[in-house]
Amino acid sequence: MASLLQTFTNVRRDELSRTLVAGLFFFFVLSALMVVRPAREALGMQRGIEAIRWLFFGTLFVTLLVNPIFGWLVSRFKRQVFISTTYLFFATGLLVFYLLLVLSPTHVGQISGQVFYVWFSVFNLFATMLFWALMTDSFTKDQSERLFGAISLGGTLGAIFGPWLASQLAKPYGTASLLLVAAGFLVLATLCTWWMSTLRKSLHSHETTTTSDTQIDSALNNPIGGNAWAGLGAVLRSPFLLGISAYVLILAVVATLLYFTRLQMVAALALDTDTRTETFARIDFYTQVATFILQGFLTSHLIKRFGIAFTMALLPLTVIFGFVGLAVIGSLAALIAAEASFKAVQRGVMRPARETLFTNTAREERYKAKAFIDTFVYRGGDALGAQTEGLLKSLGMGLAGLAWFAVPLAVLWMALGLWLGSSPKHHFLNRRRNEK
């Protein structure tokens, strides 16, 4: 079993238990997100597609408000405490919305639906950001290059299991039950953080610890310190973190362009609700299968063989081919292929590679700066992408016009990915020199 895992995922025997628990942790996180996502879409769409464009701005504003609160938690409490507090806070929020749906269903309307849409969008980013921040803080750079692809498999399985579970529970038990199930998954995810800590302590009680191990263990027992807005300051001071911010901003813009293109194309077909649901489900199915294959058999080998720069540039290259294909063919099949390819490479290859970049940053940057980038910057890209798509639509530009905008942006994005992938080592050494 261990030899088979090592062949396909580069997991070593002594890393197997922590890798499996990390994968289980990610499974619970994405199961919680994906089991609730259908409810988010249903409630948010009550006022139409145009309303969603402005909900993106609401999400951006709330994300800005939440960031200093999260930064304060990171500054004052141990890692285990602020991680558990964050996940349990979101679990409590799910319970509050559950009670609202069950005890006062007549008060659940368009306004409360939009509030839930914004709340879930913030919850979605913070939950995944916190997971990856913990991973970059728990594994060395060499381990991250080998293991993050395998760990991501757990999240992909959760992304498959969550929607399936929602489809099984929604009709017999009602939409409200999904929120209760998601809260349970978040509690299980919180328990996994403690399990990982226990495994690490058990491992070092039987082996000789290295300097890296000692630094990681010290992180468990000491607050990071600093102030609530340190994440923003770190991003503004570091060209490397500004580069990551720009990369994430373009990622969010492109993802939003594809998202609204899908909504517009499916809506133009004038399909009934069941057929639309089937179409979206087919896109998600192809995406998850492709993601699972990439994560299980290729990601860790791609990173080790070709390096971070290549894997960071692969997603922009996929976007170029996808939008050119959409402009030339312009069919729903082309859209499904483009979006499935984009999400598969994003989740299966780019995300593990991008998280590896943070293993070369300071602990404060891993949590505070990363939180700012993965939440506020990403949601800023969402808002920018939504308004850009709306502007292009109002100018009467079809898929060809969208391609003329997206392809040059992807070329710039690719160059940025190549620079980021080749610069972490130099950034790390310069930072260490400055600290000395």
What is the token pair recorded at 129? 């950001």
CATH code linked to domain 12-200+225-427: 1.20.1250.20
- Mean pLDDT, residues 392-399 taken together: 80
CA distance 344 to 347: 5
Q: Report pLDDT for 187.
A: 94
Q: With 90 as the cut, is the pLDDT of residue 247 above it?
A: yes
Q: Where are the domains of the chain?
A: 12-200+225-427
DSSP state of 372: I
In DSSP notation, 146-209 reads HHHHHHHHHHHHHHHHHHHHHHHHHHHH-THHHHHHHHHHHHHHHHHHHHHHHHHHHHHTTS--
Highest mean pLDDT among 7-21, 115-129, 232-246: 232-246
Q: Report pLDDT for 252.
A: 92
Q: Please provide the average confidence, as pLDDT, over all residues in the chain.
A: 76
pLDDT digits over 330-341, tens only?
777 788 788 778
Q: Which of 159, 212, 147 is nearest to 353 (CA)?
A: 147
pLDDT digits over 254-285, tens only?
998 888 887 777 666 655 544 554 566 566 66
Q: Report pLDDT for 336.
A: 77
Highest mean pLDDT among 63-77, 269-283, 292-306, 368-382: 368-382
Q: Report pLDDT for 389.
A: 83
pLDDT digits over 189-227, tens only?
999 988 887 776 666 555 544 444 555 555 555 666 555
Residues 6+ apart with CB under 8 A from 268: none
Give CA angle at 22 (185, 359), nearest 5°. 125
Q: Which of 374, 370, 415, 421 is nearest to 141 (CA)?
A: 421
Highest mean pLDDT among 20-24, 132-136, 286-290: 20-24
Q: With 50 as the cut, is the pLDDT of residue 65 above it?
A: yes
pTM for the structure as a whole:
0.72
Q: With 50 as the cut, is the pLDDT of residue 1 above it?
A: no
DSSP state of 433: H
With beta carbons less than 8 A apart as the criterion, state whether 45 and 158 touch: no
